[in-house]
């Protein structure tokens, strides 16, 4: 149960920061720099948030903190993020799933997908002594 709580906390922390940064990106950065550059500017910030959140969450996983437990935390959070992304974002933007994927910039969209994988794997990659 502690691993489920850790996955939920990891998701909530990273999603909350992304939820706050989204309007900033859309309202201030996109008009000045365009979608691609604005999204790429947000990625390093989110990477730092993901690393920080994973380093904070890993100690919450009960001993022993095996690779499989850290994997479960990351992929639970990843699943929750996809559900939130596809339900909340698509309903707010009034898009279908196909329209969502078609509207992604090829460069920043690819970086975004890589960041999703990094988000899922980060609890396995960080080691907290």
Which domain covers residue 58, as residue numbers?
2-125
Instruction: Provide the number of structural domains found in the chain.
Output: 1
**Two structure tokens written together for 23:** 């309007």
The whole-number pLDDT of residue 65 equals 86
Distance CA 75, CA 122 (A): 10
Mean pLDDT, residues 82-93 taken together: 86
pTM assigned to the model: 0.91
The whole-number pLDDT of residue 100 equals 86
Place of tokens 């000045």: 32
CB atoms within 10 A of CB 90: 14
Residue count (the chain): 129
Helices (H), the chain: 2-24, 30-33, 35-57, 67-84, 90-93, 97-103, 106-125
What DSSP designation does 96 have?
A: -
Per residue in 15-61, pLDDT (tens digit) is 999 999 999 999 999 999 999 999 999 999 999 999 999 999 998 88
């Amino acid at each position: 149960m502690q691993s489920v709580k850790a996955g939920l906390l990891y998701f909530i922390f990273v999603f909350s920061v992304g939820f706050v940064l989204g309007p900033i990106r859309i309202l201030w950065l996109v008009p000045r720099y365009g979608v691609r550059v604005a999204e790429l500017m947000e990625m390093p910030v989110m990477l730092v948030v993901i690393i920080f959140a994973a380093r904070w969450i890993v100690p919450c996983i009960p001993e022993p903190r095996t690779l499989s437990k850290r994997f479960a935390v990351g992929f639970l959070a990843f699943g929750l993020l996809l559900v939130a992304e596809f339900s909340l974002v698509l309903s707010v933007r009034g898009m279908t799933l196909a329209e969502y994927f078609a509207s992604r910039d090829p460069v920043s969209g690819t970086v975004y997908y890589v960041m999703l994988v990094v988000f899922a794997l980060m609890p396995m990659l960080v080691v907290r002594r």
